[in-house]
Structure 1
Amino acid sequence: MTEPSASPWWSPHVHRDRRPFLTARNAIARAVRARFEACGFTEVEAAALQVSPGNEAHLHAFATEAVAPDGTRRPLYLHTSPEFACKKLLAAGERRIFDFARVWRNRERGPLHHPEFTLLEWYRAEEPYQALMDDGSALLALAAETVGAKTLTWRGQTADPFAAPERITVAEAFEAFARVDLMASLDASGATDREALATAARAAGFRVAADDTWADLFSRVMVEAVEPRLGQGRPTVLYEYPVAEAALARPAAHDPRVAERFELYACGVELANAFGELTDPAEQRRRFQAEMDEKARVYGERYPLDEDFLAALAAMPPASGAALGFDRLVMLATGAARIEQVLWTPLAP
């Protein structure tokens, strides 16, 4: 006898249980919009259809096509982030912008992942990326205050949204939580040394496979030892990623081995990813091509480069930008256990 399937989200009793999360989502969205507008930001709406969905090796897009009246077909993608479009707007002259963007990522489904979700992205032209750290902290407090939550919660873990975040570099976190000297695997330019990291990881007790790349080992240490320790009790800002792990960020002025990239964590959950933006089109092209070479090696496919974006990059002012998983923010503020609880019309599993 087959097991009965779970009731769909539109069943009245299921919707009744979900509705408090959904109305909380709306309230948080209103509060966030009001805050950005009070700070001089303009809300924008990036088009979802793009010639390139982004050029990160491990992000997977939904492909489609446009059919012209004469039947000519043009491949397009649903964007994985509004980043390219927002940076074009900065090149056009916008200075402070934000977007509640619906985005799509394939091969992603789980308690914290959904194929279609909302990224809250915002950009500050000619402002340092440290300003985004303050923005992120303020948004956590605002979400909690809006729904009357004293703590953020996820699977038994808690974080005080009103506490000043801990700030720790990636290298410090690798040393503290994994006993791995990350910087010893980077040369003066930021190029990676796979054998150095493999030796350090193996000595610290991590599994090392013969075909693991430096990036594979970096991700394993992050997922197994570092991320679960972040955002415990209070939020964490994890900053200064190796340049090899920051394809869209500029190198730090004080050390070219690391980049102006940070991630914001609470309760062990990654909430936001931010950059001091790279504005060198030649270097960006090189990084994109390297990412697509890796995608072709691992997955047997590659995405086109957005030549219009690379052209706009040359006219873009120095800027900083952040992407925050809005659904996750709502989850932690409301205590929801699964992302589907905070989505009005989730995709059936």
Structure 2
Amino acid sequence: MNNNWQATAPIENLRRRAEIFAQIRRFFVVRDVLEVETPLMTTAAVSDPYIDTIECRYHPVPEQQESARYLQSSPEYAMKRLLASGSGSIFQICKAFRNGESGRRHNPEFTMLEWYRVGYDHRQLMDEVEALIAPILGLNQCHRLSYGELFQQYLNVDPHTASVTELKQIALSRIELEMDDDNRDNWLNLLMSHVIEPQLVGQGGVFVYDYPASQAALAKTSEDASGRSVACRFELFINGVELANGYHELTDGAEQARRFDLDIAQRKAEGLPQRPVDNQLVAALTAGMPDCAGVAIGLDRLVMLALGAVEIKDVIGLPFDRA
């Protein structure tokens, strides 16, 4: 008998999941942060070379031509258009979609919490992230370490100045792989995910900040205490599991357009699918988005951590293979 119709998560886990979602909403109501909704289907896709967007087709009435749409990998672009429209601080709990991401901690369709605080920088936002997740996870305090400090501590190398050759040698001495790549960030990402992140297991909550400027994505850049250009962004790891990614948001439309061009060039160089750029985001930034900080949290992972679940299917009623 086929039992694939059944939920994979125990009903008690789904109740606890609903309680956590309600707790999150209360958190933002008290702080007067507006809950919003944005489209799940978009006309443009994320340019990030490390994210593969899921494409779908819209079929209008017979005499009109069908058009491509993309399932959002994050509500970021649309929420920034609301900010530029004068929304003030906002949050959203929504579905997001990423192609090829399926496994113990990944589901191609997942639930994301994203919020933006007008007038905040990324350091202030770290405080608010901690205020939200600490009671849910029973954490007393989260540690804060710069990206450079982590690489110095665990690999004895400065990630801001090390050459591609140095990073490649370090990676090949610690990881069994066959890889030939001239992209510094690919080697840095590999060392971060395969060598450093496992060292964070057992350390509770750790905020990592001041990433290399080349990894700024949609964040502003600034100079650190040593005068090096760094990205005004952070990631939060809970016992080695990446949970949150936050930025002091870029508000310069021309710079955003330049970064989109760089992403497109990298996607082309690596043979990745070419996607339409979100020019509406560039237009919104050009028109004027307020200074703000924003962060995204994977809520399925948050529930997993809160319940001590081993696999994401333990906190999702019907995961991808049963959809």
TM-score exceeds 0.5? yes
- How big is the shift at 1:84? 0.3
The residue that corresponds to 1:115 in the other structure is 108
In the TM superposition, 1:248-259 aligns within 5 A as 248-254=218-224, 255=227, 257-259=229-231
Structure-2-length-normalised TM-score? 0.92
Write out per-residue CA displacement over residues 228-276 of structure 1, whole angstroms, 9 at most, x where no aligned residue: 1225232000011111112111002444521111000111100000000
The structure 1 residue matched to 2:73, chosen from 67, 77, 80, is 80
* Farther off after superposition, 205-214 or 53-62: 205-214
- How big is the shift at 1:200? 5.5
Q: Which amino acid aligns with 1:86?
A: M
The residue that corresponds to 2:147 in the other structure is 170
The structure 1 residue matched to 2:307, chosen from 324, 330, 334, is 334
TM-aligned CA distance change 1:289 to 1:40, over 3 Å: same
The structure 1 residue matched to 2:54, chosen from 62, 78, 81, is 62
Q: Structure 1: where are the runs of 5+ without partners? A: 145-160, 186-192
- How big is the shift at 1:52? 1.6
Partners of 1:136 and 1:217 lie apart in 2 by 29
The residue that corresponds to 2:17 in the other structure is 25
The structure 2 residue matched to 1:211, chosen from 168, 171, 181, is 181
Equivalent position SS for 1:107: coil
> In the alignment, is the contact (CA less than 8 A) between 2:223 and 2:230 conserved in 1?
no
**CA RMSD in angstroms, aligned pairs only:** 2.0
Partners of 1:53 and 1:340 lie apart in 2 by 27
The residue that corresponds to 1:289 in the other structure is 261
The structure 2 residue matched to 1:325, chosen from 276, 294, 298, is 298
- How big is the shift at 1:85? 0.6
- How big is the shift at 1:212? 4.7
> In the alignment, is the contact (CA less than 8 A) between 2:49 and 2:272 conserved in 1?
no
In the TM superposition, 1:1-349 aligns within 5 A as 7-8=3-4, 10-11=5-6, 18-69=10-61, 70-144=63-137, 161-185=138-162, 193-198=163-168, 201=171, 205=174, 209-230=179-200, 232-254=202-224, 255=227, 257-314=229-286, 315-348=288-321
Q: Structure 2: where are the runs of 5+ without partners? A: none
- How big is the shift at 1:25? 0.4
Instruction: Calculate percent identity across the aligned residue pairs.
Output: 33
Partners of 1:101 and 1:205 lie apart in 2 by 38
Partners of 1:287 and 1:75 lie apart in 2 by 23
> In the alignment, is the contact (CA less than 8 A) between 1:181 and 1:200 conserved in 2?
no
Q: Which amino acid aligns with 1:259?
A: A
